[in-house]
Every structure is written in C-alpha cells, then in structure tokens.
Amino acid sequence: MTILPIQIYGEPVLHHVAEPVGEITDEIRTLVADMFETMDAAPGVGLAAPQIGVNKRLFVYSWENNEGEELRGVAIDPVLWLAPSVPESFEETDEDEEEGCLSFPGERFELRRSPAVLMRARDLDGNAYELEAEGWFARILQHEYDHLDGVIYIDRLPVPLWKTAQKIMRKQRWGVPGVSWTPGVDHLEG
C-alpha cells in the first residue's frame, strides 16, 4: 500500500463532478487500499478519490462512535439523501459544528449540515448496501459525498467565514493547480 499526495483546494479535479466507477477492478481495489492508508496517515475520518487526484465517485471513511464501534468502509458510486431539515442556526444543535478537510489542511470552520442521511452505495465486492447515519457520522458522509460533486466544504461557508477562508488560501498560496501535501512527509501549519 502507498500513501498518496492529497490535492489542495484549487486543483481542478476537486472542483468537477467525478465520474462513476462502474466495474470494480483490481486497480480500484488497490486504489481503495491506498486511500485507507493515506486517510489513516493524515489522519482523517474520510477521503474521497478526487482528493488524491482520481476523478472517480468513491470515498473511504473511518470513524468510531460514542459506543466504541468502528464504522469503516468504502462507498462506491454512492447516492445520498439528506434529512428533510437542516438547523437554521448553530444554537439549534447540540453537537460540534466545526468541520475540517484534508484538501484545506489545518483549518476548521463551523458549517451546518443535515442531522441525518441515508446513503446507498456498493462495497469492494460490488454488493449494494444501505447506510443510515446521524450526527457526526452523517456529517462525514455529507462531506465526502460533496467531494464527488466537486464541492469542498469551504464553498458552503456563510460569507464572513468564506472570506476568512479566502484570506487563508491566499496566505498559504492555495487555490491554484499543482499544490498537494503527503501525510508523513509534509508538515503543514494550521
């Protein structure tokens, strides 16, 4: 397995809708193993194929819930449905609303998300599965799914936070093609 470079905001593959995976080949299986290795080394709770420069609709995730149960898997060609309502303000929610992204490393911003989702996807054996998620796990799935549609979480920020993110991007010299970092190799200041 290989730890792959993670693309930073501005790389074109991050800003386009990814293509369906279709047939699950040995190449896809190797890609998924490398994505898990990269996500774990970062460390992160999710990683989408566009983040490592691959324009395919798949992501990996790994998160431990409050009961100590590890939720780890791959979503190939997923479809995601959101709960009917999103809180109108941060005060309406009980949980941490801050989010970060390996493609905008070292930064965290508050972002409202749907409190629950339903996802249908395929696993590495091509078997279809359905997953219901709430709370932080729902946030992870929404975040990674956004990557497959060419959306990075800072694109969803309200204007004051979006402006702050833009200032950070200019200071870091992000927002242009060709910028990446490799977990375990590059040290990024956040």
Has residue 187 been placed in a domain? no
pLDDT at position 157 is: 96
| Residue 16 among known ligand-binding residues | no
How far is residue 110's CA from residue 38's CA, in Å, rounded to a whole number?
Answer: 25
Taking only the tens place, the pLDDT of each residue in 16-54 is 999 999 999 999 999 999 999 999 999 999 999 999 999
Which of the residues are catalytic? 144
Residue 190 has pLDDT above 90, yes or no: no
The SS3 call for residue 28 is helix
Q: For the whole model, what pTM was predicted?
A: 0.92
Beta strands 46-48 and 58-64: pairing type? antiparallel
pLDDT at position 188 is: 62
Has residue 28 been placed in a domain? yes
Has residue 188 been placed in a domain? no
For the chain, how many structural domains are there in total? 1
The answer for 70, left when phi > 0, alpha when psi is -120 to 50, beta otherwise, is: beta
Q: Which domain holds residue 35?
A: 6-86+107-181
Has residue 80 been placed in a domain? yes
Average per-residue pLDDT in the chain? 92
The two three-digit tokens of residue 101, written as one number: 């992204």
Has residue 12 been placed in a domain? yes
Residue 84 has pLDDT above 90, yes or no: no
E strand or H helix that includes residue 117: strand 116-122
Amino acid identity for residue 63 in this structure: W
- CATH number for the domain spanning 153: value is 3.90.45.10
